[in-house]
Copies of this chain bind each other. A is one copy, B any other.
Amino acid sequence: MERIEVALIGAGRMGQVHGQNAANHPGLRLRYVVDPRPAANAAMCAQTGAAPAGLEQALEDPAIRAVLICSTTDRHLDHALAAVDAGKAIFCEKPVDLDLEKARRAQPRFEGVPFLLGFNRRFDPHFRALKQRLDDGTVGRLETLHLVNHDPAAPPAGFIPGSGGLFKDFTIHDLDMARWLLGEEPLEVYSVASCLVDPEIGRLGDVDTARTVLKTGSGRLCVISNTRRSGCGYDQRIEACGSAGMIVAGNPALNAVIAQNDAGLLGAAIHPGFASRYALAYRAQIGHFADVVHGTAEPEAGYADGIAALALAEACGESMRDSKVVRMRG
């Protein structure tokens, strides 16, 4: 397979994950790392054999056919638009932007552009196995969903102000999963939330514990359960009920060891965080992007999916603030 050259924009936490996966992929070559912080850039290059570069250099190099946008959230859209102008294929971390209207205005610019949005959970082997069981009819026709997305521990308070709030920063993953699995657009949104984990989060105007209920046109119901602090690791589960049974994607344990003594049964903890829990998903996602770049696949989650999830997240916030049910625009 030809190794197509790509540039990484942003060598932070997610940039390191995606950059390394791109470097290891037999169909990609990580050529440039674009990050203004010299140390982060150099570390990434040392690890992958890439060269540091400025944004312009990377975008102007015709050998570069694709970019991985892992910059800070407020730069995603600018970088994506610059990449569009330069004719590159785009992998972009979620969300496309925190401002729904701004994101909607830019949408026409992405028509026909190979654009994969970083909704990594669609690529998780457990969730894909659940979807396959749904699709193969093991439990009949889908009726309801329960999505559990619990972070292990609250972020530092400093993270909150620029995050967009719980719904746009965190629930957005579930809103995308809901759309992916429901196969229909949610038309009604209800969210209720509390600040039970860290009062500082409340003082900053955000919440840390929420429940959201979605209803689709055909009457399918979806509950989303979120907390910033599970107390037991990174709790990521999905439950789907159909007309002929249910399917549960549980938390994979860290190992298959069970002890039994007078205290009862003792088993392994679940994954401590996203890095190990979704390691295979991140790898599969870059593999899918490689297929997109090579022209053998259409992006499974595109710009429009980002818009749709963002609109739902905004509805969640509105529902919570006004304590009412929000109807989506058709």
Chain A interfacial positions (CB closer than 8 Å to B):
24, 125-126, 129-130, 133, 138-140, 143-144, 146, 150, 188, 190, 192-197, 209-211, 213, 215, 219-221, 223, 225, 227, 229-233, 235, 241-270, 323-325
A265 touches B268 (CB 8 A): yes
User: B residues within 8 A CB of A260?
Assistant: 139, 232-233, 235, 245-248, 251, 269-270
B251 touches A241 (CB 8 A): no
- Closest Cβ of chain B to A263, distance in Å, is 7
Sample 7 A-B pairs with CB under 8 A, ordered by A number.
A126-B256, A146-B225, A227-B241, A231-B241, A231-B262, A246-B261, A265-B268
Task: Tell whether A259 pairs with B246 under 8 Å between CB atoms, given A195-B219, A324-B324.
Answer: yes
A266 touches B211 (CB 8 A): no
Q: How far is the CA of A233 from the CA of B259 in the complex (A)?
A: 12
- Closest Cβ of chain B to A135, distance in Å, is 12
* A202 and chain B: residue at smallest CB distance: B219
Q: How far is the CA of A270 from the CA of B251 in the complex (A)?
A: 16
Q: How far is the CA of A249 from the CA of B256 in the complex (A)?
A: 5
Other-chain contact of A259, B126, B192, B219, B247 (Cβ < 8 Å): B247
B232 touches A261 (CB 8 A): yes
A219 touches B196 (CB 8 A): yes
Task: Tell whether A263 pairs with B257 under 8 Å between CB atoms, given A144-B227, A213-B190, A225-B144.
Answer: no
- Closest Cβ of chain B to A147, distance in Å, is 11
Other-chain contact of A190, B192, B248, B269 (Cβ < 8 Å): B192
A231 touches B261 (CB 8 A): yes
User: B residues within 8 A CB of A210?
Assistant: 221
Q: How far is the CA of A324 from the CA of B190 in the complex (A)?
A: 9
User: B residues within 8 A CB of A266?
Assistant: 133, 138, 263-267
User: B residues within 8 A CB of A251?
Assistant: 256, 260
Task: Tell whether A257 pairs with B265 under 8 Å between CB atoms, given A143-B227, A211-B213, A223-B211.
Answer: no
Q: How far is the CA of A130 from the CA of B257 in the complex (A)?
A: 6
Question: Copy number of this protein in the oligomer?
Answer: 4
Other-chain contact of A246, B209, B231, B324 (Cβ < 8 Å): B231
B130 touches A232 (CB 8 A): no
Other-chain contact of A325, B193, B220, B270, B323 (Cβ < 8 Å): B323
User: B residues within 8 A CB of A233?
Assistant: 260, 262
Q: How far is the CA of A270 from the CA of B262 in the complex (A)?
A: 9
B232 touches A139 (CB 8 A): yes
Other-chain contact of A125, B139, B192, B232, B255 (Cβ < 8 Å): B255
* A196 and chain B: residue at smallest CB distance: B143
* A250 and chain B: residue at smallest CB distance: B256
Q: How far is the CA of A135 from the CA of B292 in the complex (A)?
A: 49
User: B residues within 8 A CB of A255?
Assistant: 125-126, 129, 249, 252
Task: Tell whether A246 pairs with B221 under 8 Å between CB atoms, given A126-B255, A215-B192, A227-B143.
Answer: no
Q: How far is the CA of A231 from the CA of B211 in the complex (A)?
A: 26
* A265 and chain B: residue at smallest CB distance: B267
* A262 and chain B: residue at smallest CB distance: B232
